[in-house]
């Protein structure tokens, strides 16, 4: 069997073509392929070769500017996860998390027994670079309790995310002034700090309803009803985090406020 050995194959102009060396073929100019069928694997270091896809289900192709590689979806940049606290705890940084947005809401103040309602907790929101942070303590404020006629409702407690930001609790009804609703707490330390809504005060001695507690960042207070009813007090949990407690009337007890909350949105990449 005869063997033909060549080092170059070129077109008639002697410009384009291939150079053959031991174990390799190099195109002398741009190689344009209209249709190609490969019977086997393509490998090498070319930037045009996609890494093997076997076993890479659910992953994304990523480049560092030089090489291509498959990565987990959790390591791709952008919003990837969220954690919520309705009681004290600790935030621990997930792997590959680079920054977070924290929303802190204080607890609501309690309502009183002559329709006066408690104020809502304040809100603070902050974006934090956590590249060099591993964990942060989380404090969630307890709500102020409701009270009977002419009493001072309990003040809501503050919520905080370590020393980064905090939100004060709402003031209880009848505490700052007789027959007045409690005023809202305020946020501090955040990129955005907001007061909670104030609770409604007593309208008149002939009022026929229990007045609504202050609205928090996340929403309003318990449902209200006709006087002589303890309806709001029985449904204290049907309210938004941080909302003030509704007032009641005469011998009925005002509703407690709602506890605070801390929400952490986690961003990757």
Q: Give the pLDDT confidence score for residue 116 in this predicted structure.
A: 85
Q: Give the pLDDT confidence score for residue 251 in this predicted structure.
A: 65
Q: Give the pLDDT confidence score for residue 204 in this predicted structure.
A: 42
Place of tokens 């792997």: 95
In this predicted model, what pLDDT tens digit does every residue of 146-205 receive, in sequence order?
Answer: 888 878 899 999 999 999 999 999 999 988 888 888 999 999 999 999 999 988 766 544
Q: Give the pLDDT confidence score for residue 205 in this predicted structure.
A: 44
Q: In what order do the strands lie in the sheet with 261-268?
A: 78-85, 261-268, 97-105, 123-129, 192-194
Residues 6+ apart with CB under 8 A from 49: 42, 43, 68
Q: Give the pLDDT confidence score for residue 207 in this predicted structure.
A: 46
Residue 186 — φ and ψ, nearest 5°?
-130, 155
26's tokens: 């190099």
Q: Give the pLDDT confidence score for residue 208 in this predicted structure.
A: 47
Q: Give the pLDDT confidence score for residue 1 in this predicted structure.
A: 65
Q: Give the pLDDT confidence score for residue 174 in this predicted structure.
A: 87
Q: Give the pLDDT confidence score for residue 69 in this predicted structure.
A: 83
* Residues in the chain with pLDDT values less than 50: 204-209
Place of tokens 């907790």: 121
């Amino acid at each position: 069997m005869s063997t033909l050995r060549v080092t170059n194959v070129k077109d008639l102009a002697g410009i384009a073509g291939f150079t053959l060396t031991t174990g390799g073929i190099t195109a002398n100019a741009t190689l344009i392929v209209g249709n190609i069928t490969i019977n086997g694997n393509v490998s090498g270091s070319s930037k045009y070769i996609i890494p093997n896809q076997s076993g890479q289900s659910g992953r994304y192709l990523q480049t560092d500017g030089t090489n291509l590689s498959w990565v987990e979806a959790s390591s791709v940049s952008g919003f990837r996860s969220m954690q919520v606290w309705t009681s004290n705890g600790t935030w621990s940084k997930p792997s590959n998390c680079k920054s977070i947005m924290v929303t802190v809401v204080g607890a609501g103040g309690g309502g009183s027994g002559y329709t006066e309602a408690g104020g809502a907790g304040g809100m603070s929101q902050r974006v934090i670079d956590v590249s060099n942070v591993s964990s942060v303590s989380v404090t969630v404020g307890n709500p102020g309790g409701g009270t009977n006629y002419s009493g001072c409702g309990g003040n809501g407690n503050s919520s905080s995310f370590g020393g980064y930001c905090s939100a004060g609790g709402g003031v209880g009804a009848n505490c700052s002034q007789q027959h007045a609703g409690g005023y809202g707490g305020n946020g501090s330390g955040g990129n955005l700090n907001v007061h909670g809504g104030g609770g409604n005060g007593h309208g008149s001695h002939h009022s026929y309803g229990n007045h609504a507690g202050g609205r928090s960042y996340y929403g309003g207070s318990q449902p209200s009803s006709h006087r002589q009813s303890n309806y709001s007090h029985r449904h204290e949990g049907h309210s938004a985090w941080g909302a003030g407690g509704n007032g009641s009337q005469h011998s009925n007890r005002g509703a407690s406020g709602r506890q605070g909350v801390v929400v952490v949105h986690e961003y990757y990449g």
